[in-house]
Amino acid sequence: MIEYLLLAPILTSILCFLTKTRKQVETVSIIGSIATLVLGLVLVNNVFKYGTIVAWQNALFADAFSAFIVLIVSIVGFVASFYSVGYMGHEFDHNIFDIKKLKMYYVLFHIFMFTMLLVGVTNNLGLWIAIEMTTLVSALLMILYSRKSSVEAAWKYMIICTVGITFALFGTILTYYAAVKILGETGDALNWTSLIAVADQFDPTIMKLAFIFILIGYGTKAGLAPMHTWLPDAHSEAPTPVSALLSGVLLNCAMYGIIRFYTIATKSTGVGFTSNLIIIFGLLSLGIAVPFIILQEDYKRLLAYSSVEHMGIVALGIGFGGVYGIFGAILHMFNHAMTKSLMFFGAGNVLLKYETKEIDKVSGIVKSMPVTGPMLIIGALAITGSPPFSIFLSEFTILAAGFLQGRYVSSVLFLLFLIMIFAGFFNNISKMVFGTPKPGITKGEVSRWTLAAMSILIVFVIVLGVYIPPFFYDMIMKVVAVIR
């Protein structure tokens, strides 16, 4: 089952490589991503129905949490491939991309999908490999545009994330060392299930060290402050569909790594150490995002900083702990993925239309793009945690968890940052969306594909804001059970 899921994007990628024309490559890509989505959903369904699935002598492994990541990856990936057709098609039409580059884009896109799926379904140490692979592939995607800034961003991304990931490997080795002491030198010593089973016997000091390395390592990749510095560059310079994947999905994948190790480390060190650390990083991320969001001049960077903020929120949810906290964090990962992708897609449309990333040079989107404009407003409200949109529910749950756990100071700070971010973010977005467009901007949407992609996401954003379907609720509760 898992193998098929992993095979789908690889095959698609190969087929994309073999195609000749734009039509072909787009068709292959769409079909491939539909296949990935379907397989992903089947996997998710199986996991939630029948329990954990393993394959390849435990090297591949899917429990509820993995399945949840697969769910996010495949949904956003699917939508992003739709969006790509519109977005990259526009670039192709305007001769920014030739067919070679377009093909290259789709090839890398599906490999990127593969690596992210791999993050979800791989067993422990493989996680490190998979995450490093995501960095490599996405760096390549970033330099498809040969702008100076893209190259700069890619370099920073590559270097900083590799350093971070190296730390994560160190943490993994230390964990392995702690596990080997208990389990002996078996191949099982790096499997999630066997680790968790004996995690409470691990040496706490080693685990503390290990957790620090993991937190800094994967935290770098997840964009937790102060290791987030590469993130605004990378996310704003990548091609928009990739930005959406980077912000919406890849960050979650890194977060997934942290949470996995958090579960193990907590069993050994006790809840205080790990959760305090993770809360500190969470608050730091929120706090650092505030000034940059308030004074932002580039709307894609604005979204990127908002991702830093949201990863901080997920971290807070995990740190607060309890059923509420973790439930909120998991729900938030999903909601953020949907909403942030929506926002990036909207931003992409704006970029195509206005050909600038500067907030001050964009105005009157509602007039020039009557569909994108309202969607951007909804997205902006949603991403800043306004009801009745989905992120409000998860943020509220996390806040409630903070209160229930007696972490009043953190909770109040959290709320304060949220409000400041709201003000900053909304100010910037409303400047762009409202008003009258500059002369020379024609009225009309860029492409129907992009709108289709956004419509799918907006359904998630709105529906999950007022109604959590029982099956989805059960799903998240199962994930919570895995983590706790």
Partner 1 sequence: MSEIILGSKMVQLIIALILVSTFLILGSTRLYSCVRAFGIQSFLLACVAGIVAYSTGKNDIYIVALLTLVIKAAVIPYIFIYIIREIKVKREVELYVNVSPSLIIGGVLVVISYYLIRSINILSELSSFALSASMSLVSIGLFVMISRKKAIMQMLGILIMENGLFLGAISLTYGMPLLVELGIFFDVLIGVLIMGILIFRINKTFESIDTDMLKTLIG
Partner 2 sequence: MVSGEMMITYLFSGLILFYFIGAVSAVLLNKKDGVCAFISFISAAVASVFGIIFSLSVIWGDPFSLALPGTSFLQFGIFVDALSAFFILVISVAVFAVSIYSIGYVREYFGKKNIGYLGFLYNIFILSMILVVSANNAIMFLIVWELMSVISYLLVVYEHEKPETRKAGFIYIVMTHIGTGFIILSFLILAGSSGSFNFETFRAAGVAMPPLLRDMAFVFALIGFGTKAGIVPLHIWLPYAHPAAPSNVSALMSGVMIKTAIFMMIRVFFDFLGAGQAWWGYLVLAVGTLSAIIGILYAVVEPDIKRMLAFSSIENVGIILIGIGASMIFFEGGRPGLAAIAAIAALYHLLNHSVFKGLLFMGAGSIIFSTHTKNIEKLGGLIKKMPVSSVLILVGVLSISALPPFSGFVSEWLTFQSLLLGFNFNTFTMIVLSISAAVLALTGALAAFCFLKTFGIGFLALPRSEHAEHATEANTPMLLGMGLFAILSILLGILPFYILPALDRVTRTFIGVSAFSQFFSISTFGTIVLPAKSSLSTPLLLVLMFIFLLVPFLLLYNARKSRAIYETWGCGQPVSTSRNEYTAHAFSKPVEMWFKNLYRPARQTEATYSASPFLKESFRFESRVEQVFEEYIYDPVVRFVMAKSQSAKVVQTGSIHAYLSYIFATLIILFMFVIAGGS
Cβ of residue 367: shortest distance to partner 2, in angstroms?
Answer: 9
Q: What is each CA distance from 343 to 127, 300, 333, in whole angstroms? A: 28, 9, 15
In whole angstroms, the minimum distance from the beta carbon of 293 to partner 2 comes to 9
Least distance to partner 2, CB of residue 456, Å: 20
**Residue 2: how many CB atoms within 10 A of its CB?**
25
Look at residue 164 and give the partner it binds from partner 2, partner 1, none, a contact being a CB closer than 5 to 8 Å depending on partner kind. Answer: partner 2
Residue 151 lies near partner 1 (rule: CB under 8 A): yes
Rounded Cα gap, residues 277 and 208, in angstroms: 10
Residue of 53, 129, 198, 371 that binds partner 1 (CB under 8 A): 129
Q: Does position 4 bind partner 2 by CB under 8 A?
A: no
419 binds, among partner 1, partner 2, none (CB under 5 to 8 A by kind): partner 2
Determine if 327 is a binding residue for partner 2 (CB under 8 A): yes
Q: Identify the three-state secondary structure at position 453.
A: helix
Shortest distance in whole angstroms from residue 170 CB to partner 1: 6
Do 343 and 283 contact (CB within 8 A), yes or no? no
Distance CA 123, CA 52 (A): 12
| 427 near partner 1, rule: CB under 8 A | no
Residue 146, binding choice from partner 2, partner 1, none, Cβ under 5 to 8 Å by partner class? partner 1
Task: Using CB under 8 A, pick the residue from 65, 192, 230, 449 that binds partner 2.
Answer: 230
Amino acid residing at 482: V
> Under rule CB under 8 A, how many of the chain's residues touch partner 1?
52
Of 409-428, which residues contact partner 2 (CB under 8 A)?
A: 411-412, 415-416, 418-420, 422-423, 426-427
| Torsion over CA: 439, 300, 17, 450 (sign) | negative
Decide: is 100 part of the binding site for partner 1 (CB under 8 A).
no
The mark string for 18-57 relative to partner 2 (x by CB under 8 A, - otherwise) is ----------------------------------------
x/- mask, partner 2, residues 245-284, rule CB under 8 A, reads ------------------------xx-xx--xx-------
Would you say 398 and 415 are in contact if contact means Cβ atoms under 8 Å apart? no
Looking at the Cβ atoms of 51 and 291, the one nearer to partner 1 is 291
Q: How far is CA 173 from CA 132, 169, 227, 416, in A?
A: 15, 6, 21, 39
Q: Which of 212, 302, 362, 398 binds partner 2 (CB under 8 A)?
A: 212
395 CB-near residues (< 8 Å, 6+ apart): 313, 328, 332, 385, 418
Using a 10 angstrom Cβ sphere, with 0-12 exposed, 13-18 middle and 19 or more buried, the burial of residue 332 is buried
- Quick one: which of 7, 138, 107 has its CA closest to 60? 7
Cα atoms in the 13 Å half-sphere on the side-chain side of 304:
26
143 CB-contact burial (10 Å; exposed 0-12 / middle 13-18 / buried 19+): middle
Q: What is the largest CA-CA distance in the chain?
A: 72
Name which of 94 and 467 has its Cβ closer to partner 2.
467
Which residues are paired to 358 by β-bridges?
Answer: 298
Backbone φ and ψ for 122, nearest 5 degrees, come out as -90, 160
202 lines the binding site for partner 2 (CB under 8 A): no
Tokens coding 409:
């100071």
Q: Does 152 bind partner 1 (CB under 8 A)?
A: yes
Residue with tokens 């057709």: 85
Residue 124's region, left for phi above 0, alpha for psi from -120 to 50, else beta, is left
CB 312 to partner 2: min, Å: 15
Which among partner 1, partner 2, none contacts residue 128 (Cβ within 5 to 8 A by kind)? partner 1
Report the C-alpha gap between 333 and 311 in whole angstroms. Answer: 8
Q: Which is nearer to partner 2, 19 or 384 (CB)?
A: 384
Q: Residue 348 binds which entry of partner 1, partner 2, none, with Cβ cut-offs from 5 to 8 Å by kind?
A: none
For residues 65 and 121, is the Cβ–Cβ distance under 8 A? Answer: no
173 binds partner 1 (CB under 8 A): yes
Residue 48 tokens read as 């939630």
| Residue 227 contact among partner 1, partner 2, none, beta carbon within 5 to 8 Å by kind | partner 2
**Which of 5, 15, 139, 160 lies at the binding interface for partner 2 (CB under 8 A)?**
160
Tokens of 462: 């709105």
Near partner 1 by CB under 8 A, which window of 87-95, 155-163, 272-280, 421-429? 155-163
* C-alpha span between 314 and 369 (Å, rounded): 33
Residue written as tokens 């899917």? 62
Contact region for partner 1 (CB under 8 A) — 148-156, 218-226, 250-258, 316-324? Answer: 148-156
294 binds partner 1 (CB under 8 A): no
Interface positions with partner 2 (CB under 8 A) = 155-156, 159-160, 163-164, 167, 205, 208-209, 212, 215-216, 220, 226-227, 229-230, 232, 269-270, 272-273, 276-277, 288, 290-292, 294-295, 327, 366, 377, 381, 386-388, 392-393, 396-397, 399-400, 403-404, 411-412, 415-416, 418-420, 422-423, 426-427, 430-431, 434-436, 465-470, 473
